[in-house]
């Protein structure tokens, strides 16, 4: 049984995009991938005789066979590129060359579907670091995402120095988070991290951390609500967590289960994401006030009088420590010390990474109004207390 037959047999009935008809029988196909920037390659697989839009969906699902990204196009029988919007009009058999050869051209254009894969997960904050969630709470329709590329030179390369004055500011700079509404995020941090509101507010306490950064912005994703579809697994887990009665004991259990959901799917997600490369130098200065005391004792013993005398003197000193850390996101890591060469390596979109998260929202904001209301009922006391 071929990979593609297994793929469809394993999908649930609701998830299948189409059913096999008599003319949908699998064909043994030789795919020739033409690439101007590298040598052509050939793979053999079995595909059903469906329309090209459905064939594209099949070929996008498995990297180790051949990933047909948005920068790949089918070629018709006269070797002309078939526009994406016309793919639904063609059956596979109609464009095959003799001996069942399917020609696909891979351009140097940005593969937006590959970039979408980088931002369709939520994230959580653990020990001061942003960590990508292992499970998907949502999927993104690439066709509905607002994509911006070929940014102007003034927007593309950004060098800056910044000194962070609070722990929260430091957290955001270290993790490439931009323009966060502190009042909206801190209460949720209190819930997700399991700390008290007062402890979370300590993130406003002063620190002294400096950042020197180089950012090369290559593309942006603006993700509208209409492009986001919740996964069935996420909805199921939320419904299950909220199914208990509202007794005090059950409410505590609900909160525990909702926190487990954020561990699995992330606490937050971003609606605006910037891709490219970044080198960030983090310089932390720590000052410690140390007390040093010395004690002098004297004892005299005479025939008549015993005399005891002691004196303690305290000295204060300030000891400073500097710590430098360099974080690299995207680009060719092996040449990061050669700034010009590293920047040039970002001409390849496959070396882009996320270098900025903006418009951060709680993961539960993705739910419908009814589920969101139930979540707030369970978590509301802690959320409202922080505002």
What are the pLDDT digits (tens) for 7-25?
A: 445 544 444 344 444 456 7
Task: Give 72's strand partners.
Answer: 106
Q: Higher model confidence: residue 257 or residue 202?
A: 257
Q: What pLDDT, on a 0 to 100 scale, did the predictor assign at position 104?
A: 94
Mean pLDDT of 61-88: 84
Contact 363, 135 (CB under 8 A): no
pLDDT exceeds cutoff 70 at 299 = no
Residues 170, 171, 177: CA angle, nearest 5 degrees = 105
pLDDT in tens, 21-42: 445 678 899 999 988 666 788 8
Taking the whole predicted model, whether its pTM rises above 0.85 is answered as no
Neighbouring residues of 318: CB distance < 8 A, sequence distance ≥ 6: 287, 288, 289, 290
Confidence of residue 182 (pLDDT cuts 50, 70, 90): low
Q: What is the pLDDT of residue 236?
A: 94
Residues of the chain with CATH 3.10.20.90: 28-109
Cα 119 to chain centroid distance, Å, stands at 5
Q: Which pLDDT band, with edges at 50, 70 and 90, does 254 fall under?
A: confident
Among residues of the chain, what percentage have pLDDT more than 90? 27
- 281: pLDDT strictly greater than 90: no
Q: How far apart are alpha carbons 90 and 99 in whole angstroms?
A: 19
Burial tier of 238 (Cβ tally within 10 Å: 0-12, 13-18, 19+): buried
Question: Which structure tokens are listed for 343?
Answer: 């920047």
Strands (E), the chain: 26-35, 41-48, 72-74, 101-106, 123-126, 129-132, 138-140, 146-149, 157-166, 206-222, 228-230, 268-301, 306-329, 353-362
DSSP single-letter state for residue 37: T
Helix (H, G, I), strand (E, B) or coil at 219: strand
Average pLDDT of every residue of the chain: 76
What's the CA gap between 253 and 279, in Å, rounded?
43
Indicate whether 216 pLDDT > 70.
yes
Average pLDDT in the 333-337 region? Answer: 85
Distance from chain centroid for Cα 88: 32
Q: Which residue has the higher pLDDT, 212 or 155?
A: 212
Predicted pLDDT of residue 18: 40
111, 71 contact by CB (below 8 A): yes
Q: Which residues of 363-375 are buried (b: 16+ CB within 10 A; e: fewer)?
A: bbebbeeebeebb
What CATH number does the domain located at 28-109 have?
3.10.20.90
The model's confidence at residue 294, banded by pLDDT at 50, 70 and 90, is: very low
pLDDT(382) > 90: no
């Amino acid at each position: 049984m071929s990979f593609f037959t297994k793929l469809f047999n394993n999908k649930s009935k609701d998830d299948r995009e189409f059913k096999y008809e008599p003319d949908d029988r699998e064909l043994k196909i030789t795919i020739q991938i033409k690439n101007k920037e590298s040598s052509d390659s050939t793979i053999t697989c079995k595909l059903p005789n469906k329309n090209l839009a459905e064939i594209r969906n099949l070929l996008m699902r498995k990297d180790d066979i051949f990933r047909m990204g948005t920068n790949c196009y089918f070629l018709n029988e006269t070797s002309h590129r078939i526009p994406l919007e016309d793919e639904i009009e063609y059956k596979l058999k109609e464009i095959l060359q003799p001996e069942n050869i399917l020609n696909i051209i891979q351009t140097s254009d940005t593969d937006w579907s590959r970039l979408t894969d980088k931002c369709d997960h939520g994230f959580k904050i653990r020990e001061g670091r942003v960590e990508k969630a292992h499970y998907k709470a949502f999927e993104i329709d690439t066709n509905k995402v607002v994509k911006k590329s070929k940014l102007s030179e003034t927007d593309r390369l950004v060098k800056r120095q910044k000194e962070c004055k609070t722990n929260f500011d430091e957290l955001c700079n270290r993790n490439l988070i931009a323009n966060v509404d502190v009042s909206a995020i801190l209460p949720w941090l209190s819930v997700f991290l399991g700390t008290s509101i007062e402890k979370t507010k300590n993130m406003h306490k002063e620190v002294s951390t400096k950042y020197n950064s180089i950012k090369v912005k290559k593309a942006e994703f603006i993700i509208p609500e209409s492009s986001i579809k919740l996964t069935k697994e996420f909805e199921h887990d939320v419904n299950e967590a909220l199914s208990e009665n509202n007794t005090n004991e059950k409410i505590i259990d609900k909160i525990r289960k909702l926190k487990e959901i954020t561990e699995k799917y992330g606490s937050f997600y971003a609606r605006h994401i910037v891709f490219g490369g970044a080198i960030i130098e983090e310089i932390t200065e720590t000052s410690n006030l140390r007390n040093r005391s010395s004690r002098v004792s004297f004892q005299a013993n005479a025939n008549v009088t015993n005399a005891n005398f002691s004196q303690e003197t305290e000295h204060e000193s300030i000891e400073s420590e500097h710590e430098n850390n360099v974080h690299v996101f995207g680009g060719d890591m092996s040449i990061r010390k050669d700034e010009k060469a590293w920047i040039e390596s970002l001409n390849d979109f496959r070396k882009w990474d996320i270098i900025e998260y903006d418009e951060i929202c709680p993961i539960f904001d993705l739910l419908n109004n009814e589920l969101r209301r139930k979540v707030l009922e369970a978590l509301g006391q802690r959320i409202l207390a922080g505002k």
